[in-house]
Structure 1
Amino acid sequence: PSINHDHPFPQDGEYIYYLCDNDKNNTQPKKYNILFQSICNRLPELLPKLINEQNETDETECEYWACNNLHTRCNCFWNCENGEDEFHCDTSLTLCENEKIQNKMILQKRSENEIQCYRGLPVRIWLNNDESTFICFCPHSYYGSRCEYQNQRVSLAIKLQAYSDSRQTLFEIIIQLIDDSNEKIIHSHVQFTYLFARDCETIFYYYLLYSTRSKNQTKTYSIHVDIYEKQPLNYRGSLWFPINNTFLPVHRFDLTIAIPPADFNSEHCLKHECIHGKCIKYHDSQQDKSFCLCYPQWSGQYCTIP
């Protein structure tokens, strides 16, 4: 079969592999002007421009880009991974945005009894009619009395790709952080829907946390992805991504997930003795990896746990 070079992804004569209709040369940038905060954020947004015989975008030469600068200094957000842009800032003042007065910035003096929540939200708790205290509501990626500690986690940036026969199909995507124990413990998971017409340019960002603090270094962990058609709930396939450097407190993944075509048949295998399930090979796995897809009400590595 011939190759149609008008499409950014090759075809095999039957299926065209693509992201969006206006994608060209496997790139997504379409903008000519972007916000300052978008520079060097690992997501190209500017069209390449030839400068000194080099194609330059907002993501080139980022090794020379200072994360601690006039625009990021003391903006209550860690633009530097080590938080150096927020060191030695005046914490006695906080900037508050009030939409009722057309987003004017108001300076509000902190209460003497209010604690500083480094990465959380301070909330006043009333103990009785006269006494109150402040506590910190932490995001799920941080913990501690002042949200000063990072949770060990996996940070995901996910881009989905679809074949041409699936552009009208609504998919249910389930992503799990699992370990290699006999119980196949699911430490955390996220679940969302994907529709090509709505999400072809969307990058999904999620955190997956380990169920214990700190994580068990004797275990190996991986990302398990299940893909279903939403209506009806037909199984399309699964993908597997190993987590190699488990010593890292935060493991970052930039994943490109290819949804199998409509006529894709999950390849069965006999490698595992799946007692109450069936052995399925992962789609596009480079290691001939397989797993047990358990029947309802069963779980575990070999579907032996009711």
Structure 2
Amino acid sequence: MPRVRTVFLSDIHLGTRACQADRLLDFLREHPADNLFLLGDIVDFWAMKRSIHWSRAQNTVVQKLLRRARHGERIMFIPGNHDEALRNYCGTSFGDIRVEREWVHEMADGKRFLLVHGDEYDQVTRHHRWVAVLGDVSYNLLVRINIWLSWMRRQLGVSGYWSLAGYAKRKIKTALQFIFDFEESVMHDARARGLDGVICGHIHWAAIRDMNGLTYVNCGDWVDSCTGIVEHLDGRLELVNWTASAASLEYNDSDEAEAPIGDGKALAGEM
């Protein structure tokens, strides 16, 4: 496959039923890279406190990441609020995957971007955790309903992908205002640091756009939108939407020879 310089992913939410690990594996197979940045909420410890769903495909995601790191790809993990316990290990490495609180990445064209998860710019998550947990459960419900809606659409022969959670975000004014406030806050910090932009996750709202001369980039998620960001060899950034690609993974990868991580049952999580 054509190699890209860097892949940016966030909000995979391993350990939940909503995690679309099959599609993520297809995406990773199609995008070999020199660098891979995991920008938080990779493992959903919040949801796993309620119950755990760890599928074979999710197991393979972990094994594939470890294998890519072992074979020389630089992989860095920047924890988010759902896997914040791993922030205690910033500056260390697990299986050649380095953990950092944040990072400044220099693109091939010389532009410098702040890499963060983004929850540190979310006033609700920082100061009203119970509201964040309530929002997590509500979003979780929408995603689970969306799984059934998607199945019904396929049975009826309706093509394309439609997101109930995304529709709700577009229609609910307070949700949109939260997103805009978040974006302004994270970009203000980038400008203060003299950087060219930010690449983050957290709000499950994929985007690449100019904001007053700086570039705002959000990776989206792998529970609803199935999106990632790639940096091409010339430094150009591209938003890749993988929802149009049907998951086609066959479990005959050599990664399967490695020891399993675990198994379990039920539930999901978000933001």
TM-score (norm 2): 0.21
Higher relative contact order (CA 8 A, sep 6+): 2
TM-score (norm 1): 0.19
- Find the structure with the greater CA-based Rg: 1
